[in-house]
A = this chain, B = another copy of it.
């Protein structure tokens, strides 16, 4: 249940539209549910606007399937990230509507029917082709919140005209997610061109002294452009989630 739904419910009750019993039942979802290996946070949607998301990494397929089932029981939007095929197969058995996004290694179900037009557009940009999987994780996450999402891929700074020629897209976005590996310079250029929040996502793309994304991460943290904030290496999900919170304000 989201905050908005809760407010609506309380108003309905006040106006006598629903009985006391009905509201008690609606509010009776326990704050969390305890399994042997997990303590599922059922109030997260109320507090954070979105139900608990499953990070599959480090969980067995069975555990993943079990948790997914508990979330899906309430027909809540289901999102699982860093999912291997084995995780998906286990989830699919419990949640038949689940779909697997192979490139983004993401499982979704009960996603919004279509983007909420009242929200601004979230633009997802990558520096290179190899950064696309992380960008897709971000884009799918943002879509789960109902945000309109645009993509602009492979426009890194070594050929800056590729980016500049798309400045219209930059200017029309409400929030911009910039995904880059190697030297991670793209967010600085983008950040200097716009007046909306820019979320920089370093990726582990590169070799040698890229150190699995540390170089890109450090570069982004030290950006000379203002208004840029950063998430963990390869954390497309985190960027998509934060962008959605920022976009809610529109």
- Flag whether A225 is at the interface (Cβ < 8 A): yes
Which residues of chain B are within 8 angstroms of A57 by Cβ–Cβ distance? 130, 205, 207
Q: Which of B154, B162, B182, B224 contacts A223 (CB 8 A)?
A: B182
0 or 1 for each of A214-228: is its CB under 8 Å from B? (1 = yes) = 111111111111111
Chain A interface size range: 35 or more
Number of copies: 8
- Flag whether A116 is at the interface (Cβ < 8 A): no
- Flag whether A179 is at the interface (Cβ < 8 A): no
Q: Which of B195, B207, B229, B242 contacts A226 (CB 8 A)?
A: B242
| A38 touching B3 in the complex, CB below 8 Å, given contacts A221-B209, A222-B210, A250-B249 | no
Question: Is A218 a contact partner of B221 (Cβ separation < 8 A)?
Answer: no
| A197 touching B234 in the complex, CB below 8 Å, given contacts A44-B159, A154-B38, A183-B219 | no
Q: A211 to B221: give the CA distance in the assembly, Å.
A: 11
Question: Is A120 a contact partner of B208 (Cβ separation < 8 A)?
Answer: no
Q: A165 to B189: give the CA distance in the assembly, Å.
A: 15
Q: A31-B165, A211-B218, A218-B218 are in contact. List 4 more A-B contacts (CB 8 A).
A: A47-B195, A63-B129, A128-B224, A157-B192
